[in-house]
């Protein structure tokens, strides 16, 4: 009952907006319990599922029903579900580009799996409506062309792109909202308002999320003799208890529990290799 997942590099002209494309499949008869964790990115995906299933979001009271079709997903906590046979083709998109592609605000889809046809006119978008005869590669190519066409019509603000990259490219926990707003030349209030409009999070919350995502990757890279206290120290924590408390707010699990789990979709997304 193995879940299979592989990552594909986006076209060069999309690399600013799309981290990767991926294909995930599960074809066993027995349904499978799984979970996803927040990464600070948005998933735009097409899913083919044997039957509809429910997704529950731990950081809210939201529950989404997922059936075959196009979706958007954005998390700030764990999402849990039990799924049947599925095939998923998806793009992992940086949140500051969401509104430019789909004309929707990140906060409006936070902690949901939102069907694209409920917020966006798919028939006039260039996305294939009937994908039954399309190969995975052809559908991914269609999705890439769609994203590129939208971005060419709606270029991003350079200041937003710059501050977003500054947060995700650096040791984000060393940055403060005051420092970022001064770097942008805005008041803290104005900067926070703009940033939240484009990402769905306050700058402080997004920095915490980036810190969590980095911690996950460091935990994955620990050998059998590695210490979680080393991860806490590298992430700027003075003690492991504080690290564990902050970590649990995003996933409901301790670093030790996450370290022991190697079969989840969340783990495969983090460790997936480009092919």
Task: Indicate the helix (H) or strand (E) that contains 55.
Answer: strand 53-57
CATH number at residue 13: 2.60.120
| Last residue within a domain, chosen from 113, 136, 155 | 155
253 and 149, same domain (yes or no): no
Phi, psi of 263 (to 5 degrees): -115, 0
* Strand pairing class (86-93; 63-66): unpaired
- pTM listed for this prediction: 0.92
CA 36 – CA 266 distance, rounded (Å): 5
Does residue 177 carry a pLDDT above 70?
yes
Residue 168 and residue 67 share a domain: no
If asked whether residues 62 and 169 sit together in one domain, one would say no
Packed helices 177-184 and 203-221: angle between N→C axes, nearest 10 degrees: 110
Tally of structural domains, the chain: 2
Residue 274 lies in a domain: no
Question: Same domain, yes or no, for 238 and 138?
Answer: no
Q: What does the DSSP 8-state code read for residue 216?
A: H
Strand ranges of the sheet holding 18-26, from the earlier edge strand across to the other edge: 4-8, 18-26, 86-93, 42-49, 69-74, 112-115
Identify whether residues 131 and 217 lie together within a single domain.
Answer: no
pLDDT at 275: 30
User: Angle at the Cα of 3 (from 147 to 273), degrees rounded to 5?
Assistant: 55
Residues 217-245 have a mean pLDDT of 89
Mean pLDDT of 166-172: 82
Residues 34/88, Cβ–Cβ less than 8 Å: no
The rounded distance, in Å, linking the Cα atoms of 122 and 117 is 6
Same domain, 193 and 211: yes
Output the six-digit token pair for 11: 């076209």
CA atoms within 13 A on the CB side of 20: 16
Query: What digits encode the pLDDT tens for the residues 261-275?
Result: 888 888 888 876 433
- We report the CATH number of the domain holding residue 166 as 1.10.10.60
Burial of 246 (0-12, 13-18, 19+ CB in 10 A): middle
Q: Which of 123, 194, 127, 203 is nearest to 160 (CA)?
A: 194
Residues 27 and 127 in one domain: yes
**Where a domain ends, among 155, 174, 204?**
155
For residue 51, pLDDT over 60 is answered with yes
Query: Is residue 265 a part of any domain in this protein?
Result: no
User: Is residue 273 assigned to a domain?
Assistant: no
Q: How many other C-beta atoms can be found within 10 angstroms of the C-beta atom of residue 63?
A: 14
In a domain, 119, yes or no: yes
- Asked if residue 200 and residue 254 are part of one domain, the reply reads yes
Domain end (from 126, 155, 184): 155
Lowest model confidence (mean pLDDT) among 39-48, 78-87, 92-101, 116-125: 116-125
b vs e for 193-215, b when ≥16 Cβ sit within 10 Å of the residue's Cβ? Answer: ebbbebbbbebeebbbbbbbbbb
> 84 is in which domain, residue-wise?
4-155
* Whether 116 and 73 share a structural domain: yes
Examine the domain organization and report whether 138 and 162 are in the same domain. no
Instruction: Give the pLDDT confidence of 54-73 residue by residue, as tens digits.
Output: 999 998 989 999 999 999 99
49 and 151 fall within a common domain: yes
The answer to whether the CB of 21 falls within 8 A of the CB of 89 is yes
Rounded to whole angstroms, the Cα distance separating 200 from 15 reads 21
| Domain contains 267 | no
Give bridge partners of residue 24 from the DSSP assignment.
5, 88
Pair (170, 50) in one structural domain:
no
pLDDT of residue 263: 81
């Amino acid at each position: 009952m193995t879940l299979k997942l592989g990552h594909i590099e986006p076209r060069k002209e999309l690399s600013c907006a799309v981290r990767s494309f991926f294909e995930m499949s599960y074809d066993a008869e027995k349904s499978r319990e799984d979970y996803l964790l927040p990464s600070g990115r948005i998933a735009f995906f097409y899913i083919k599922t044997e039957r509809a299933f429910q997704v529950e979001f731990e950081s809210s009271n939201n529950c989404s029903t997922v059936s075959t079709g196009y979706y958007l997903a954005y998390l700030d906590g764990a999402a849990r579900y039990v799924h049947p046979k599925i095939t998923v083709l998806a793009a992992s998109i940086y949140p500051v580009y969401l509104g430019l592609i789909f004309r929707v605000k990140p906060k409006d889809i936070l902690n949901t799996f939102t069907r694209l046809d409920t917020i966006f006119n798919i028939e006039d978008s260039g996305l294939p409506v009937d994908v039954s005869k399309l190969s995975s590669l052809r559908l991914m190519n269609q999705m890439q062309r769609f994203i590129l066409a939208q971005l060419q019509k709606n270029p991003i603000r350079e200041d937003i792109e710059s501050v977003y990259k500054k947060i995700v490219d650096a040791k984000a926990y060393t940055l403060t909202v005051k420092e970022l707003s001064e770097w942008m030349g805005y008041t803290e209030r104005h900067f926070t308002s703009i940033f939240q409009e484009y990402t769905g999070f306050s700058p402080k919350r997004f920095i915490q999320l980036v810190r969590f995502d980095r911690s996950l990757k460091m935990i994955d890279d620990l050998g059998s003799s590695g210490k979680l206290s080393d991860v806490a120290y590298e992430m700027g924590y003075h003690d492991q208890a504080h690290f564990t408390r902050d970590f649990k707010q995003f996933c409901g699990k301790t670093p030790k529990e996450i370290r022991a789990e190697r079969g989840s979709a969340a783990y495969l997304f983090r460790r997936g290799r480009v092919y």
